[in-house]
Structure 1
Amino acid sequence: MIGAIIGDVIGSHYEGKIKKAKNKDFELFTPYSICTDDTIMTIAVGQAMVNTYQEKEISVIQKELIKEMQRLGRLYPYSGYGKQFKYWLREENPKPYNSFGNGSGMRVSSVAWLYDNLEDINKYAEITASVSHNHPEGIKGACAIASAIYLASVKKSKDEIKEYIEEKFKYILKPISQIVEEGSNYGASSQITVPVAIQAFLEGIDFEDVLRTAIFAGGDTDTIACMACSIAEVYYEIPDNLLKFAYSRMDLPLKKPLKNFLMLMKEKNKLNNNLKKVLILLENENI
């Protein structure tokens, strides 16, 4: 969860701009870095999954997802949503609209923390996508990111993660250097951006390097970094300066549901050191 938020915040300043960079040595901390729709929807989905944890009825989970996504989305109406999703947020009875955008992949990370096997993770990842991004590619993107997070969390090797993603989801994982050279990373579809995010994680040597690699790839930088860093946070220690910077960009309506999610993780004894640090920050603010 915090990895996804960090990726979103740091990547927000560089969307559509990073093509000018000649290497990965760019400024991470800028006054223009903000939480975008990626953070907002990640937290909304996390709250909905907490509210329905262990619920078996799919329609109940979908109803709660819609409620929480609309509740938080309407609090932050100018946060970079796609055109169709803006309408979805305002509709009284929103329906899925066959989207294959990367919104399903960027908001799914809570599922991989909550559930303990790939069967359940793919099942609930599909449910989180289904309320809006019900195109097969939208569903596949959510399942691929959630699966990669889970596999990283149980310390599968990067070769094993790569093999699973390629075999299960049929993604072609190209080196980031090739993607940059080809300029093939423009657009916000799951088909384009999810493989790039996973590849950025595979190539990174630590959390910051995953973040820099994801942003350097260009294109939809906040969402690619959000997805890549949602995987990296279960594999690597997050530097304190990155964690505190992203945390500083959040306000109370985002921090409260984030704490709700972390408290459930604490109850399940599933907090890693990164999430423990976030919970301490929240508790120090008496949130």
Structure 2
Amino acid sequence: MLGAISGDVLGSLYEAWSIKDKNFRLFHELDRPTDDSVLSLAVAKAILDADAEGREPAFGDYERELRAFGRRYPDAGYGGSFRAWVNDPAGKPYDSFGNGSAMRASAVGWAFGDPETVLAQAELSAAPTHGHPEGIKGAQAVALAVLRARTGSSKEELRSEISLRFGYDLGRTVDSIRPGYPFEVSCQASVPEAIVAFLDSRDWEDAVRNAVSLGGDADTQACIAGAIAEAFYGGLPPRVPAWVLPRLETGLLATLSDFAHRFLPADRAAAVDAETAARALPRGGAGTSTGRDASAAGGDRKTDGAQAAPGGRNRRGAEHAGDPGRDPRAPAPGYRVVLSGSTRARIADYARRLSANP
């Protein structure tokens, strides 16, 4: 989960500025969580709530949380069809084959321990919006890859199983894909490439650099590759969560904390705890640096083209003493997580300056 969210945040700048090079600056002041992070945490919340009742999530659990998070964070950069579905109480699945189903599926691979359950739950997590067979397949491929990566499969075993089960061409390399790869948001033309970005990597950061360097839907590619890489390599470089977590709004961090304590290894939960503790410091203390609960006002960025941790526990609310009387999942007033037109202009200017002075 932290790998997915971090991939999204670190890739967010490059969705607006496509590159074809791994040697890019990893951290930027404009890094923000997007719809990939928001909806990954919506899926996590559905799993948590069902788990608290001693059952597996049903279709309605995923539908409810996807709608709730979509409304709570309305400017996260959703495609038009998703926004229309969120705002229509009678909205029905629109059978998308876009990669939105895949980008949000990593929590399923962490929460469930057998492949058949993972496949079934990934389908349920996708179905409220992505009922097309390719949309379902993309979610299943990512969730199963996370499961296999965290339970000891080798890269070659993972490559073989995902290729055979889903028909994806994972025999390519990042270097062979990169030159002619366009901006793609369909599952069938972006999920295999994101998995290859992981398979071609030597560590978590390298997986994310591979994904971004393809020059396509960078935040989603990095979200998927980062999710699998976290599971396979056993974590992230400490500087990554130290940079990413302060950029999550309090409500998103609350859901991540709950999920981490229930399903993730202890080091991931500890990283989230460090950030929530920092937020509880008095205003003006070390926990109030800029970027925690605000970002640029928004608009569209995407099309619709289409085992519990040792000692794991659910600590909902205990770490949010700094926000008494407020739903810890409610956003700060005016919270936005997407790039506006004015911010796009800033990015373009930043890109020019960076190119001139690498």
TM-score using structure 1 length: 0.92
Q: Does 1:282 align with 2:280?
A: no
Following superposition, the deviation at residue 148 of structure 1 comes to 0.5
Give the greater-gyration-radius structure (CA): 2
Which residue of the other structure, out of 191, 194, 197, is the alignment partner of 2:188?
Answer: 191
Which residue of the other structure, out of 239, 248, 251, is the alignment partner of 1:250?
Answer: 248
Aligned counterpart, 2:328: none
Kindly provide the amino acid, as one letter, of the partner of residue 271 in structure 1. Answer: P
Q: Does 1:110 align with 2:110?
A: no
Aligned counterpart, 2:223: 226
Aligned counterpart, 1:166: 163
The answer on whether the counterparts of 1:38 and 1:103 sit within 8 Å (CA) in structure 2 is yes
The answer on whether the counterparts of 2:253 and 2:272 sit within 8 Å (CA) in structure 1 is no
Offset from partner CA, 1:74-107 (integer Å, 9 cap, x none): 1221211111011011111221101000011010
Offset from partner CA, 1:95-140 (integer Å, 9 cap, x none): 1101000011010111111111111100100000111101000000
Q: Does 1:65 align with 2:69?
A: no
Q: Does 1:239 align with 2:253?
A: no
Q: Does 1:140 align with 2:137?
A: yes
* Distance (Å, rounded) in 2 between the aligned partners of 1:139 and 1:45: 14
Aligned counterpart, 2:308: none
Aligned pairs (5 A) from 1:25-64: 25-53=23-51, 54-55=54-55, 61-64=58-61
Following superposition, the deviation at residue 200 of structure 1 comes to 0.5
Aligned counterpart, 2:151: 154
Following superposition, the deviation at residue 243 of structure 1 comes to 1.1
TM-score using structure 2 length: 0.74
Aligned length, in residue pairs = 277
Following superposition, the deviation at residue 16 of structure 1 comes to 4.5
Q: What are structure 1's unaligned runs of at least 5 residues?
A: none
- The verdict on how the C-alpha distance between 1:272 and 1:230 changes in structure 2, with shifts beyond 3 A counting, is farther
Q: Percent of counterpart pairs with the same letter?
A: 37
**What SS does structure 1 have at the residue aligned with 2:232?**
coil
Q: What are structure 2's unaligned runs of at least 5 residues?
A: 280-318, 321-358
Following superposition, the deviation at residue 272 of structure 1 comes to 4.8
* Distance (Å, rounded) in 2 between the aligned partners of 1:116 and 1:43: 19
The answer on whether the counterparts of 2:256 and 2:272 sit within 8 Å (CA) in structure 1 is no
The answer on whether the counterparts of 1:145 and 1:227 sit within 8 Å (CA) in structure 2 is yes
* Distance (Å, rounded) in 1 between the aligned partners of 2:269 and 2:153: 20
Following superposition, the deviation at residue 253 of structure 1 comes to 1.5
Offset from partner CA, 1:139-167 (integer Å, 9 cap, x none): 00000000110110012110000000110
* Distance (Å, rounded) in 2 between the aligned partners of 1:55 and 1:94: 26
Q: Does 1:4 align with 2:4?
A: yes
The answer on whether the counterparts of 1:102 and 1:189 sit within 8 Å (CA) in structure 2 is yes
The answer on whether the counterparts of 2:93 and 2:130 sit within 8 Å (CA) in structure 1 is yes
TM-align CA RMSD: 1.5
Greater relative contact order (CA < 8 Å, ≥ 6 in sequence): 1
Following superposition, the deviation at residue 284 of structure 1 comes to 5.2
Which residue of the other structure, out of 261, 264, 267, is the alignment partner of 2:262?
Answer: 264
